[in-house]
Structure 1
Amino acid sequence: MSGLENLTLPELLARLEDITTPEPVSYIPQTTAWYLLAAVLLLVLAAVSWRLAARYRMNRYRREALAALMEIERQSTTDSHSEVQVAALLRCTALSSYPRANVAALHGGTWLAFLDHCYGGKDFSDGPGRVIADAPYQPAHLLSAYERAGLLGAARSWVRKHRAGDRHA
């Protein structure tokens, strides 16, 4: 026999040995491949962050133009001549994002066609934006609330959607 038959329960419990647990697994990578993967991930993260920051900086002129459009919209009433302000704002915005040689000399129908081509719409040649073709060169006329809303919507859409830096526009 083993000699444990005559022992009481507290004596048996006292003879038990504690279970030994293994050391916890380390979370630190053990191979150089993990270090290389971490380095590559950090480089990718840095490149994506840099690209997003550059894009944010490059689109500053869009944010400023949209803020100016909101101000024009806020100030526009039935007796104001917002088409001249919108025409000037679109010209300045286009000059900020396209080469001066491609934009500065445009006027009338060619200016409207340029605006339409840059964002893929027809709001300027065939829509509410056509009033800006000659607005800076003629005495201002009153726009209806519907015409003003259409013009401001077309201008807002152009500022948001045009392809900046399109050198062949």
Structure 2
Amino acid sequence: MQQDFGELIEPAPVRFSFGAPGWYVLAALVLLLLMLLAMVIVRYLKRNHYRKTALQWLAAEEQRGPQPDALVYAANMLLKRIAMRNYGRERVAAVQGEEWIKLLNTTCRKPCFDAADSALLQHDLYAAGTLPLSRAVEFVLKSKRWIKTHRHAF
């Protein structure tokens, strides 16, 4: 066949260039996605900043070395403040005892508290004897777990 048509002439290879309009569209889409991702991350961090602050405050209370009963009381009040912030004062303020523990467990991914914690908050905290440090530390650890894993009301 070469004899009939002669030597085939191949065109020069097409050079790569960012001058095509498709690259501008792709760059705009990537930039838009990056801005959207940044907005989502900032919103997440702002929305959960109180968790970090609460955990830092609770750690500072532990380091201060208060009495075990004062530590349990402080942790419980912190849980109340966080719950009121997220679920509303009307739903949380008057709840106490077993209802309070039930509310905490229903707002968490995995239940953290049990009946012993209800008894701790209702009776043991106000009993004449001193509260064992191990019970206070256990309650604070459960409180930290709840702070990290509770759901928002939205």
> Which of 91, 94, 118 is residue 83 of structure 2 equivalent to?
94
1:103-128, CA deviations, whole angstroms, 9 ceiling, x for partnerless residues? 2221111110010111133332345x
Q: C-alpha displacement at 1:143, in angstroms?
A: 2.3
Which residue does 1:38 correspond to in 2? 27
Flag structure 2 segments of 5+ consecutive residues without an equivalent: 1-14
**Alignment of structure 1 residues 68-83 onto 2, 5 Å:** 68-77=57-66, 81-83=70-72
**Change in 2 beyond 3 A, CA 1:44/1:106:** same
Question: Counterpart of 2:3?
Answer: none
Which SS does the other structure have where 2:83 is aligned? helix
Paired position in structure 1 for 2:51? 62
Instruction: Determine the structure 1 residue equivalent to 2:11.
Output: none
- Unmatched tracts of structure 1, length 5 or more: 1-24
Q: How many residues align?
A: 140
**What code does the residue aligned with 2:26 have?**
L
The answer to whether the 8 A contact 1:84-1:132 is kept is no
* Aligned-partner SS, 2:30: helix
Partner of 1:19: none
Q: Give matches, 1:20-169, under 5 Å.
A: 29-77=18-66, 81-126=70-115, 129-131=117-119, 133-134=121-122, 138=126, 142-166=130-154
Stretches of 4+ aligned residues off by more than 6 angstroms: none
Shift of 1:102: 2.1
Provide the rounded CA distance (Å) in 2 between the counterparts of 1:84 and 1:141: 15
Given that residues 95 and 104 in structure 1 are in contact (C-alpha distance below 8 angstroms), is that contact kept between their aligned partners in structure 2?
yes
Give the alignment's TM-score, normalised by structure 2.
0.77
Q: Is the 1:69–1:86 Cα contact (8 Å) retained in structure 2?
A: yes
Superposition RMSD in Å: 2.5
Task: Give SS of 1:83's match.
Answer: helix
In the other structure, the counterpart of 2:7 is: none
Relative to the length of structure 1, the TM-score reads 0.71
Deviation at 1:37, TM superposition (A): 1.0
Identify, as 1 or 2, the structure richer in helix: 2
Give the counterpart letter for 1:153 in structure 2: L
Mark the CA change 1:132 to 1:44 in structure 2 (over 3 Å): closer, same or farther.
Answer: farther
Report the identity percentage: 23
